[in-house]
Structure 1
Amino acid sequence: MNILFFLTPKKNVASIPSQDSLRQALEKMKYHGYSAVPTIDADGKYAGTITEGDILHAMENMCKWNIFEAEKIKVQDVPRKRDIQAIFIDTDMDDLVDTITDQNFVPVVDDQKNFIGIVTRKDVIRFYYDEYKKIQTKEA
């Protein structure tokens, strides 16, 4: 099975430009209700994933909770607790499952490292559950 079967394309993914301010990132995450969002550089390449925790630590340590100071800090300059690596479109299912076990989504890039979308853990679990149910139905 090809992982593109699970892909949510970038046009349907909330992402944050790495040049956006910390305040913009905070507002976008609040609006969408996500706890982690991929960041994309000016060339369309995956630049990392920023989390609520990263933003909260930056607000405390870099801005002293001043929202106006948060406008001066770029997302690309915010330290990340975890370095979430993207997978390539030709990644096999075993590697996808190994990666997605530890995070809610996995960013996907093409062979030139352009961000093309994400695969969510929910979609992978749903697929394997549906396959399990098919087997159970056949055995019954």
Structure 2
Amino acid sequence: MRAIDVMTTQVILARPEMTVHEAAKMLVDHDISGMPVVDAEGRLAGMITEGDLLHRMEIGTQMKRRGRLSEFFTSTRELAREYVKENSPRLSEVMTADVVTAKEDTPLAEIAEMMDRHRIKHVPVVRDGKVVGLVSRANLIRVLASIGPDLHHSVAPSDAEVRQAILTELGGNRWALPSQNVIVTNGVAHLWGVIKSEEEREAIRVAAKNVPGVKDVICHLVYPSIPLY
């Protein structure tokens, strides 16, 4: 799926000349946690979110001042930026100007990776510099909730096909099992081998369980034996 398949198209937009208080009221009135900021021509200028308004002098939530040593190693540029963000009434000085964006044909997997890497909850979708939609974490969760529980093929795959699919899913991971340690009988996957942690056991089990056609997973996974001398 792509951004255009899940994005919100009726996007609430803010303007750079607005005040912080006006922007905060818009977030509350529309029950949203973030919105793009666009200029007079409708081009994306920034993004304002709850996180940008979390630390404000009006409500006494400014960032705790650093100790002398920490402040010494913090650039005056960063200190000045923090002060403006906490005290300026102008939205243009508080919003995030360097915005991570997507296109209408951007795959959802790529958007999810953007959110994770940049620690953001919203990705504006732009066309020719103008906002045409917005993808939020909530949009992605709705897609997940809309997927039916049964994703099996209309024709049940053979044991050999299921086994190959499990090996493909495991392949490339350092914790993967050797191919000879995966056996599938009547749709039941038997996993044999040596593991180093319960996390490895769970990852191997989940990888097999998620393969279409697997009816059950039986783990015969053990820890390395300790030789006795």
TM-score w.r.t. length of structure 1: 0.70
Which is further off, 130-139 or 87-96?
130-139
* 8 Å Cα contact 1:48-1:85 kept in structure 2: no
Query: Does structure 1 retain, via aligned residues, the 8 Å contact 2:8–2:135?
Result: yes
Deviation at 1:25, TM superposition (A): 1.0
Secondary structure of the 1:77 match is helix
Shift of 1:49: 1.5
What amino acid maps onto 1:4 in structure 2?
I
SS of 1:48's partner is: strand
* 2:35 match: 37
CA distance in structure 2 between the aligned counterparts of 1:56 and 1:128, rounded to whole angstroms: 29
Q: By how many angstroms is 1:63 displaced?
A: 9.7
1:30-78 alpha-carbon deviations (Å, 9 max, x no partner): 222333222112111122211234234354555987xxxx7xx431122
Distance 2:11 2:95 in 1: 22
Asked if residue 104 in structure 1 is aligned to residue 121 in structure 2, the reply is: yes
How many Å separate the matches in 2 of 1:97 and 1:64? Answer: 29
Output the TM-score relative to the length of structure 2.
0.47
Which of 97, 105, 113 does residue 129 from structure 2 map onto? 113
Number of residue pairs the alignment of both structures matches: 130
Query: Following TM superposition, by how much is the alpha carbon of 1:22 offset from its aligned partner in structure 2, in angstroms?
Result: 1.8
Indicate the RMSD between aligned Cα atoms, in angstroms.
3.1
User: Secondary structure of the residue that 2:35 maps to in structure 1?
Assistant: strand
- Matched-pair identity in %: 26
Structure of larger gyration radius: 2
Query: Residue 151 of structure 2: SS of its match in structure 1?
Result: helix
- What is the match of residue 3 of structure 2? 3
User: Which one has more relative contact order, counting CA pairs under 8 Å at least 6 apart?
Assistant: 1
Does structure 2 retain, via aligned residues, the 8 Å contact 1:18–1:42? no
Structure with the larger helix share: 1
Q: In structure 2, what is the equivalent of residue 89 of structure 1?
A: 104
Structure 2's unaligned 5+ residue stretches are 59-82, 155-212, 216-229
Distance change (3 Å), C-alpha of 1:92 and 1:77: same
